[in-house]
Amino acid sequence: MTILSIDNQIERMRAVLPGWKVKQEDERTAVWIGSLRPNKISYRVRIFYRVPRLLDNTTVKQVQPRVFIDSPKLMPNAEGELPHVYWPKGDPTAGDPCLCLFDPDHEWSICDYLADTTVPWSSTWLYWYEAWRVSNIWFGPARHEGEEGDAGASSAEAEIAKV
């Protein structure tokens, strides 16, 4: 089990998604910007990731990459709901949401390549989002970290967790 460095992540993303731009912010942090088109719409996606220090006392949720949709912006339904996202500080007015990519069957790890996990999971999330925009039903998995129960439960029943 090898913790992947930010250089490992950058190298793999370049190999798998050569059209994506990367900005390395420091020796542990990078931001990638690229596009995903899971169905009808092309989305501009931004992924922020910081490799944790070995001695940091963190949870998976705290160290996992953050995925934001820069355009088109994610839109809530008529009731103001936007399913299966995390809001900054748990407050929808505090900034843009990041996608909840929590998967109880394959928990993300600092040993996983973003290109092989986070990017395809984001594309799948966007596919479910497009279906939700049409039907107002979240058909994809909708369990946030720490929740019990059916991973396919409606996101309206899922608590929006704090980032």
pLDDT reported for residue 135 = 95
Of 92, 56, 94, 88, nearest in space to 76 by CA: 92
Burial class (CB in 10 A: 0-12, 13-18, 19+), 65: buried
**How far does Cα 136 stand from its chain's mean position?**
21
Report DSSP letters for 51-91, one per residue. Answer: PPPTT----HHHHS-EEEEEESPP---TTS---SEEBGGG-
Only one residue has tokens 């542990």, namely 28
Residues 120, 157: Cα–Cα separation, whole Å: 25
What three-state secondary structure class fits 97?
coil
CA angle 52, 56, 58 (to 5 degrees): 85
Question: Per-residue confidence of the chain (163 residues) as pLDDT tens digits?
Answer: 788 999 999 999 999 999 999 999 999 999 999 999 999 999 999 999 999 887 666 666 677 899 999 999 999 999 999 999 998 878 888 889 999 987 667 778 899 999 999 999 999 999 999 999 999 999 987 665 554 433 333 333 332 332 2
